[in-house]
Amino acid sequence: MPEPANRDDSVAIELESIQTSRGARLFAMSALRGPEVRINDFQMAPIALLHAGDQIRVNSGPAYEIALFHKPAVGPAKDHQVGRMCPVCLGSVETGVPVLECGCGAVFHLETEGEAPLECALAITECSQCQQPLQLEQGYQPEPEFLSR
């Protein structure tokens, strides 16, 4: 039996960014209409959760790596941050004090000036609440690299 002339052979892949309750950023991916999708060289199920660093290959094409662009929330404490407890020093966040806010909502002091600055965000490498890496500079996580065909 001949195929219909208006058959759509396009690949349909949906990728949606989600954030867990602990602040981690994941991607929900669904592959529709039969493309061969491989994640980290394994055949993908119809729906999958992807993490930063995972590799995707569609229909034997080039591999792509999932990387998140991170723009840290650094600046003077905002109204919703004032009065919250810093998980490092256990001190209260005061109005106008420089802070870093993690994706999970934890707030860390980030003072760099004064007699005894509270540099709590500089004292640790990951959030004590959600265990996600703390980044003070914007950029990709992980740093993207070219992946061969």
Segment 44-58 mean pLDDT? 87
Segment 35-54 mean pLDDT? 86
19-23, 57-61, 91-95, 142-146: range with lowest mean pLDDT = 142-146
If you average pLDDT over every residue of the chain, what do you get? 82
pTM for the model stands at 0.64
Provide, for the chain, the percentages of residues in helix, strand and coil under a 3-state DSSP scheme, each rounded to the nearest 5. 0, 35, 60
**More confident call, 98 vs 141:** 98
> Is the pLDDT confidence value at 46 over 70?
yes
Distance CA 93, CA 85 (A): 6
- Give me the pLDDT at residue 15, please: 78
Contacts of residue 148, Cβ cutoff 8 Å, sequence gap at least 6: 62, 63
- Give me the pLDDT at residue 9, please: 52
Distance CA 97, CA 91 (A): 12
Peptide bond into 62 cis (omega under 30): no
**More confident call, 65 vs 1:** 65
Token pair 């949606």 in the structure block, residue: 16
> Is the pLDDT confidence value at 11 over 70?
no
Token pair 């919703």 in the structure block, residue: 80
- Give me the pLDDT at residue 146, please: 58
The length of the chain, given as a count of residues: 149
Fill in the DSSP letter of residue 48.
Answer: E
Distance CA 19, CA 136 (A): 19
> Could you tell me what percent of the chain has a pLDDT over 70?
84
Residue 103 carries which side chain, given as an amino acid letter?
G
Q: Among 48-57, 71-80, 137-146, name the most confident range.
A: 71-80
Q: Among 31-35, 94-98, 117-121, 141-145, name the most confident range.
A: 94-98
> Is the pLDDT confidence value at 14 over 90?
no
- Give me the pLDDT at residue 149, please: 44
What phi and psi values does residue 122 have, to the nearest 5 degrees? Answer: -85, -15
